[in-house]
Amino acid sequence: MQTIDKPKISYPDEMYEKPFFSETARMLEDVSNHDFDDLSQVCDDDFGIIDINVQGGAEVIRNREGWENWFKNLFIQLDQIEASTWSEITNYEAIETSEMGYGVVDFDQKFITKDKKLNFSVIATIIWKKVGKEWKESRYHSSLIKVEPLVD
């Protein structure tokens, strides 16, 4: 199995001051690390998600069972093709109220296998809800903007 050293990503302090930035970065890191258990703790999708599938198309998921199946199978598939992935946030804005909020995150997802090195530019809208004292992702909708070869 190939191993790729994922870069240590840091962001300006101003980003962490914005609502839900830490949670958003955590979600992207969980996907990069195929950490289903932690990802499932921050996500509580009421109406499913729209994600990007491995073919670059839209993956429409309508409920929690579909969400769990999607991520478990995605992580298995990425492991089978020995893919290394990570995301780098390039822009972030968010609004928070007492019970809900939303964020818009632009990020580049790096995708590396032994045969491919690609950069997926993505914009996602994330709806957040307050559950007890924690914020949970309630809806995620991503759009693939472009795919380019990843330059070393």
Q: 13-149 has which CATH code? A: 3.10.450.50
3-state secondary structure (DSSP) of residue 50: strand
Q: For residue range 34-64, what is the model confidence (pLDDT) as tens digits?
A: 999 999 999 998 788 999 988 888 999 999 9
Predicted TM-score (pTM) of the model is: 0.93
Q: Stretch 72-81: mean pLDDT, rounded?
A: 96
| Gap between the Cα atoms of 130 and 109, Å rounded | 28
